[in-house]
Amino acid sequence: MTALAEAFDQDTIHRIERLGIQSDWNCLEIGSGVGTIAHWLATQCPHGEVIATDLDTSLIPEEGRPSNLQVITHDVTVDAFPEGSFNLICSRFVFEHLIDRDAMLAKVVRWLAPGGWLLLEDTGPFPFDSSPNPLYRRVSKAIMAVATKRMGSDYEWSRSFPAQLRANGLIHTGVHASSHGVGGTPMGRAWRLTAEHIAADLDEQFGITAADLATFANQVEDPSFDDLCIASVAAWGQRPTLREYLKTLKPPTRVPQGN
Ligand SMILES: C[S@@+](CC[C@H](N)C(=O)[O-])C[C@H]1O[C@@H](n2cnc3c(N)ncnc32)[C@H](O)[C@@H]1O
């Protein structure tokens, strides 16, 4: 997970900066993993509180943890926060794994304060379809298929961003996708580790042999190998303030006066 964070943290940070992060914001990161984004949020919001949640918080280091960063074990599908608590809620590569992701999104939107922002980032597998490297394309698509089968993940969910956010009443919505090269990069390392972790399934379900996997590993660790990996598809949107909400209401219809 560290390699994944290394590959995508700059994208996430850039996206949050563009939302206009303020020093007094209260922020929530759902499914923090190794906690690097929550840690960064805490340094950006010294006058606010930052909460990092995960099912397993053991990967978030205690050493050097800012005093305004609280780390809690929390299952977004079961546990809750009070309505209107946060100026920013972000979550990366988590919602795609939740079985009832649409209902979870509706629940999480209610935790936003009026004017608060939601930033969701989930996987887009589309860079693989057009890969010019047959083995890389085959192994990469097999990785996505195994992960889908193992965890019930939906990697197509992000393809219709940000409609899901608008459907939940968020405004000023936007969408952006980024993808990184694999040749000798943190993304390449993360992708190799993922493949090695599920090597038995790749072999059993897709006939990807140890020799195939070794070639794949050499490719993604080779700085002269050019290809793209998964995209991070980001959607953001803002909970309307009362003023903005009133603007969305239709003007009252005038009842014609009888003569
Ligand atoms: C693929 S990792 C992504 C970690 C981190 N957000 C990142 O992008 O580096 C998914 C994370 O979501 C967490 N997670 C999965 N289901 C969750 C749930 N129901 N509630 C909270 N966290 C969850 C997992 O424990 C894991 O740390």
pLDDT above 80 for 138: yes
Query: Which positions ≥6 away from 89 have C-beta within 8 Å?
Result: 27, 28, 29, 30, 108, 111, 112, 116, 117, 118, 119
Mean pLDDT of all residues in 18-43:
98
Residue 4: phi, psi to the nearest 5?
-65, -45
* pLDDT (tens digit per residue) in 186-240: 999 999 999 999 999 999 999 999 999 999 999 999 999 999 999 999 999 999 9
Mean pLDDT of all residues in 80-91:
98
Instruction: Find out whether the beta carbon of 31 lies less than 6 Å from any atom of ligand 1.
Output: yes
Residue 237 contacts residue 131 (beta carbons within 8 Å): no
Residue 224 Cα to ligand 1 midpoint, Å, equals: 32
Instruction: Find out whether the beta carbon of 76 lies less than 6 Å from any atom of ligand 1.
Output: yes
* pLDDT (tens digit per residue) in 157-196: 999 999 999 999 999 999 999 999 999 999 999 999 999 9
pLDDT given for residue 257 in this prediction? 74
pLDDT given for residue 258 in this prediction? 66
Mean pLDDT of all residues in 51-58:
98
d(CA 209, CA 12) in angstroms, rounded, equals: 35
d(CA 252, CA 185) in angstroms, rounded, equals: 58
pLDDT above 70 for 259: no
Residue 33 Cα to ligand 1 midpoint, Å, equals: 6
- Residue 25, sorted as left (phi over 0), alpha (psi -120 to 50) or beta, turns out to be beta
Q: What is the mean pLDDT of the chain?
A: 95
Instruction: Find out whether the beta carbon of 109 lies less than 6 Å from any atom of ligand 1.
Output: no
Instruction: Find out whether the beta carbon of 80 lies less than 6 Å from any atom of ligand 1.
Output: no
Instruction: Find out whether the beta carbon of 94 lies less than 6 Å from any atom of ligand 1.
Output: yes
Mean pLDDT of all residues in 60-74:
96
Domains and CATH numbers, the chain: 2-242 (3.40.50.150)
